[in-house]
């Protein structure tokens, strides 16, 4: 009788711990919000921030002036603040559609015309846009960028940008945000763009 009680109690304890861990992972993942914070006390440039149940984490620090000669459909130059706002919305949209996963981060180069010449820009993309999950999602990004024809665009880097390093850093950040073992008091190294 005592042995059966111990077995039942142990099994209940194990199932409870599994339930707490999986529930914590689900609630932590579901509560992530990506926003653009303007320059302020903590950062002297715009920053794409991930707000989670474990805290706020900078994802991308925006400083590149390489895109300011272009404008979006609203006539706004692609300065660091505009890029931060657009990319933060993209992060949130892909996240809301459950497509922002480290396994689905890819790289590409995008040809854009500049002064009559083709300039190649490295870009970080989200793949899996033909999946049933993506087809059912109404909030996929469409923000009027001149490169809106690039499916899955997450963000572009300046021509000399380290595309593979940026993609790997996005993967690392996404893994840390999703990992309940990551206590939140460690630092996530943001991408500098």
- Tell me the angle at which helices 163-178 and 2-30 cross, rounded to the nearest 10 degrees: 140
**Which structural domain, as residue segments, surrounds residue 54?**
32-192
125 shares its domain with 183: yes
Angle, CA 107 vertex, CA 79 and CA 26 arms, to 5°: 90
Per-residue pLDDT tens digits for 67-95: 877 777 777 788 899 999 999 999 999 99
* Residue 62 sits in the same domain as residue 99: yes
CA distance 113 to 136: 34
- Tokens standing for residue 160: 């000399």
pLDDT tens profile 42-60: 889 999 999 988 788 899 9
The pTM of the full predicted model, rounded to 2 decimals, is 0.75
Q: How many domains does the chain have?
A: 2
Is the same domain home to 140 and 184?
yes
């Amino acid at each position: 009788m005592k042995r059966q009680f111990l077995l039942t109690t142990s099994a209940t304890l194990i199932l409870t711990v599994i339930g707490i861990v999986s529930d914590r992972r689900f609630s932590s993942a579901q509560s992530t919000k990506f926003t653009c914070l303007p320059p302020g006390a903590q950062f002297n440039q715009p920053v794409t921030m991930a707000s989670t149940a474990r805290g706020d984490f900078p994802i991308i620090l925006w400083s590149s002036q390489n895109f300011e000669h272009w404008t979006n459909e609203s006539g706004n130059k692609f300065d660091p603040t505009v890029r931060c706002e657009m990319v933060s919305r993209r992060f949130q949209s892909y996240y809301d559609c459950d497509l922002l996963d480290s396994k689905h981060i890819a790289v590409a180069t995008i040809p854009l015309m500049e002064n009559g010449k083709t300039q190649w820009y490295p870009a970080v993309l989200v793949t899996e846009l033909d999946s049933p999950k993506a087809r059912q999602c109404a909030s996929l990004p469409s923000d009027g960028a001149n490169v809106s024809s690039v499916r899955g665009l997450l963000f572009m880097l300046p021509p000399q940008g380290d595309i593979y390093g940026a993609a790997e850093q996005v993967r690392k950040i996404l893994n840390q945000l999703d990992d309940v073992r990551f206590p939140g008091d460690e630092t996530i190294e943001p991408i500098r763009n």
